[in-house]
Amino acid sequence: MYENLYKFMELKGKRAVVTGGAMGIGYSTVLRLLNEGCVVTIWDINPEKLAEAQQALNSKGIIFAHQCDVTDKNRVYELGEIAVMEMGGVDILVNNAGYVASGYFLENTDEQWEKTISVNLTSFIYTIRAFLPQMNERNSGHIVNISSASSVIGVPGLAVYTASKWAVWGLTESLRFESKKLGKKGVKFSTVHPSYIKTGMFEGAKIPFPGGLIVPLVKNHDVIAKTIVERILKRGALSPKKPWTVNLAMMMRGFLPDPIFQKMIELLKISDSMKTFKGREK
């Protein structure tokens, strides 16, 4: 209902950059954008997957593909200029590239936690800085940042990952208000908050019974891609959660005293959700 307060975006002819676009949510989002008539640039760190994605998607529309480590700001800024040159501008940025190192806080190295923050948060700052000036100049554009269901609740075994995704939500909301203060209401900012997806980066992770009945696994990456294209870009949603029951965590946190809320999370077995984690094969 509230999404209809925002102007619909006509996607045909729009120009998009999708980071981590060769796999998972990124790939599914690229496919949907191409089907809507967008011109798309894919950035991905994996050259083999990037080549496979480009070959598979060439027949779907106009795409450009570049290998990119999004934690390398010089490479991001270089490719940002190339994207503008190749596509004539950038209307949509989907910050999808992500990294997860599972394990309790003291089990992993400083380097693993630094990489988690660099990929999941710092790189978003680089990519946004690469494209926001031109969006502000046109007073038009939409930046979509992939957050997580873990941005609404702490998860054992994901402490730094969770911290990075909480930060992404705060960054996005702050930038939204900044744009309004600067008179750039045509520049939109959104987050999407997926819970565990059956396959991919979080394969094996799941909330056991009884919490798993309330927040089931997301069946595939296209569920999130559809949310990005249909709800966020077309209808202006600000921070959709998938499944929608993720919102219940925020509601419980708001209404219940903190000790009761914490106990409820334990009773629902949400704290055990990373015990069966396998992750994506290298």
Domain 10-272 is found in CATH 3.30.2130.10 = no
Give pLDDT tens digits for 117-151.
Answer: 999 999 999 999 999 999 999 999 999 999 999 99
pTM of the model: 0.94
Which residues are annotated as catalytic? Answer: 161
**Which DSSP helix (H) or strand (E) runs through 113?**
helix 110-117
Q: So what's the pLDDT on residue 1?
A: 43
Residue 202 has pLDDT above 90, yes or no: no
pLDDT in tens, 143-200: 999 999 999 999 999 999 999 999 999 999 999 999 999 999 999 999 999 999 998 8
- Give the CA diameter of the chain: 55
Q: How far is CA 232 from CA 9, 29, 201, 248, in A?
A: 9, 12, 23, 20
* CA–CA separation, 41 and 197 (whole Å): 25
**3-class DSSP state of 41:** strand
Helices (H), 182-220: 211-214
Closest CA to 141 of 97, 91, 101: 91
CA-to-CA separations, 89 to 22, 58, 80, 93, 230, in angstroms, rounded: 21, 20, 10, 11, 22
Tell me how far apart the alpha carbons of residues 122 and 71 are, in angstroms, rounded to a whole number. Answer: 7
Mean of pLDDT values over 40-51: 98
Write down the pLDDT at residue 211: 87
Calculate mean pLDDT across residues 226-235. Answer: 97
pLDDT exceeds 60 at position 74: yes
- 24 residue type, one letter: G
What's the pLDDT tens digit per position in 5-21?
A: 455 678 999 999 999 99
Average pLDDT, the chain: 94
What is the arithmetic mean of pLDDT over 24-42? 98
